């Protein structure tokens, strides 16, 4: 019995029309048109990404704000993290020692 019910054509669920008093704001964006436009845009982006040069370089890739896992944020670098107190102390003593040796020459 259920197979016969499934064989009958179903009613198409149409989207409602735009009300007349809202026509001044342009065409109402329908789901079908919007969905297909997004799908086409994603397809174009996918094709563009697959055909790009892997050796390509841009200086924007070196900026502090880079995309990691889809989110903007500061890069995790030594300059962004800062140095520990002990590391700074060691660098200062090394600098002082270098200046002493250069001054003796």
Number of neighbours of residue 66 by Cβ within 10 angstroms: 14
| pLDDT confidence of residue 79 | 55
| pLDDT confidence of residue 69 | 55
Q: Which of 15, 48, 18 is nearest to 33 (CA)?
A: 15
Say yes or no to pLDDT of 102 above 60.
yes
Per-residue pLDDT tens digits for 21-74:
988 888 777 788 888 889 999 999 999 888 888 777 777 666 655 555 555 555
- Region label for 76, one of left (φ > 0), alpha (ψ between -120 and 50) or beta (otherwise): beta
Distances (CA, A) of 67 to 3, 37, 72, 76: 52, 25, 5, 12
Q: Which residues, 6 or more positions from 65, have their beta carbon under 8 angstroms from its beta carbon? A: 72, 73, 74, 75
Where do the domains of the chain lie? Answer: 20-104
| pLDDT confidence of residue 8 | 86
| pLDDT confidence of residue 81 | 64
| pLDDT confidence of residue 97 | 85
What does the block give as tokens for 38?
């997004």
How far is the C-alpha of 76 from the C-alpha of 105, rounded, in Å?
41
pTM: 0.33
Q: How would residue 75 be classed by pLDDT, with cut points 50, 70 and 90?
A: low
């Amino acid at each position: 019995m259920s197979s016969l019910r499934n064989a009958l054509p179903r009613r198409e669920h149409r989207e409602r029309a735009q009300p007349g008093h809202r026509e001044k704001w342009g065409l109402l964006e329908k789901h079908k048109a919007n969905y297909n436009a997004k799908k086409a845009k994603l397809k174009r982006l996918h094709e563009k990404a697959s055909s790009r040069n892997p050796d390509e370089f841009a200086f924007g890739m070196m900026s502090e704000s880079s995309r990691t896992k889809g989110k903007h944020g500061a890069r995790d670098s030594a300059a962004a993290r800062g140095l520990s107190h002990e590391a700074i102390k060691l660098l200062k003593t090394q600098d002082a020692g270098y200046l002493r040796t250069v001054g003796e020459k």
